[in-house]
Amino acid sequence: MKISSIHAAILSSAMIFGFTQCSQQAEPQQQAPVAVSGLKMAYIDVDSLLANYAFYQDLSEELMRKEENYRLVLTEEANKFQKEVADFEKKVQAGVYSSEERARQEQTRLTKKQQSLTEKGDKYQQELEAASLNNSQKISETIDNFIKEYNKSHGYNIIVAKSALMYADENLNITAEILDGLNAAYKPSSK
């Protein structure tokens, strides 16, 4: 199960349990903490993990470069298009076109070019969204697989995301160990 799925499941369970308890009790009561004998737990600060995970940083930088490249291409094409539109408008005002039909043909060509530019922008946006989703899946799978391997020698019953916790003893934080292991296992591809 992915870390975010664990987070959602725990949070949902806690909220449902809390709402059920509130609706069943008219007066607040003190409940004794429940100790679970033999349960070994740990947590990971996912934000800190991702902020320092080399693979995540490399994928993020690659996606930013791709986005910047798309933006530059679209900006250059949009500027050229704007010049063509301005040129067309000047020619129409100056009466350069031999007939209204020729002016309409040029206007139709420009409209098609504008539509093509819009479609190209949409295509780039879809490619970026797909790449971002793919990156998220790669990161999630890599972290999940590493945690499974890590846990074979550490024997935790539960490893949760810190964001799902209201309080946890800092001694249960294994973020640094997981981060060190992930970064040690990551072999950047040379391009």
Tell me what the pLDDT averaged over the chain comes to: 85
Mean pLDDT of the 147-167 span:
94
Asked if residues 164 and 10 have their Cβ atoms less than 8 Å apart, the reply is: yes
Asked if residues 88 and 110 have their Cβ atoms less than 8 Å apart, the reply is: yes
> For residue 157, what pLDDT is reported?
95
CATH topology of domain 3-185: Protein Binding, DinI Protein; Chain A (3.30.910)
3-7, 161-165, 177-181: which has the minimum mean pLDDT?
Answer: 3-7
Asked if residues 135 and 59 have their Cβ atoms less than 8 Å apart, the reply is: yes
> For residue 164, what pLDDT is reported?
87
- The band of 18, judged by pLDDT with boundaries at 50, 70 and 90, is very low
Mean pLDDT of the 100-109 span:
94
The b-or-e profile of 111-147 (16+ CB within 10 A means b, else e) is eeeeeeeeeebeebeeeeeeeeeebeeebeebbeeeb
Mean pLDDT of the 171-191 span:
91
20-29, 82-91, 116-125, 142-151: which has the minimum mean pLDDT?
Answer: 20-29
Q: Any idea how long the chain is?
A: 191
Q: Is the pLDDT of residue 1 over 70?
A: no
pLDDT in tens, 27-75: 555 655 555 678 999 999 999 999 999 999 999 999 999 999 999 999 9
Q: What is the pTM of this model?
A: 0.71
> For residue 97, what pLDDT is reported?
85
